[in-house]
Amino acid sequence: MPKATDRQYINYLGEYYDDCLEIESVLKNRAKSAEAASLLSSKLQEREARRNAMVQYLADKRGIAFKEMWQQLLKKEYSPMTPEEFAQLEIVDEGS
């Protein structure tokens, strides 16, 4: 179990989705937070292929490996490319 300082929190879902989450948790006899974690995990699993494609796109654009791009994103070292940086890559690609 994570320590309280390690927990992640999400913003308030809004009245409708909060009510939906409450109903889901009651129907499944789970704590609301446990049901929210379960639903989020499930959705992230569904999106794995799409997420990996997006990371691969960013890696290809920069000419780096998927794993390196993944690590940049995890470490919060990622930043969008400026038009100047992208233009510089095109010049290098044309010369190859």
pLDDT at 96 over 70: no
Whole-number pLDDT of residue 95: 54
Rounded mean pLDDT of the chain? 89
Whole-number pLDDT of residue 94: 57
Distances (CA, A) of 11 to 15, 31, 78: 12, 17, 24
Fill in the amino acid letter for 95: G
Helix ranges (DSSP H) in the chain:
15-27, 32-46, 48-62, 66-74, 83-95
**In the numeric block, which tokens belong to residue 73?**
């994103």
CA 25 to chain centre: 24
Report pLDDT digits (tens) over 48-81. 999 999 999 999 999 999 999 999 999 999 999 8
CA 41 to chain centre: 11
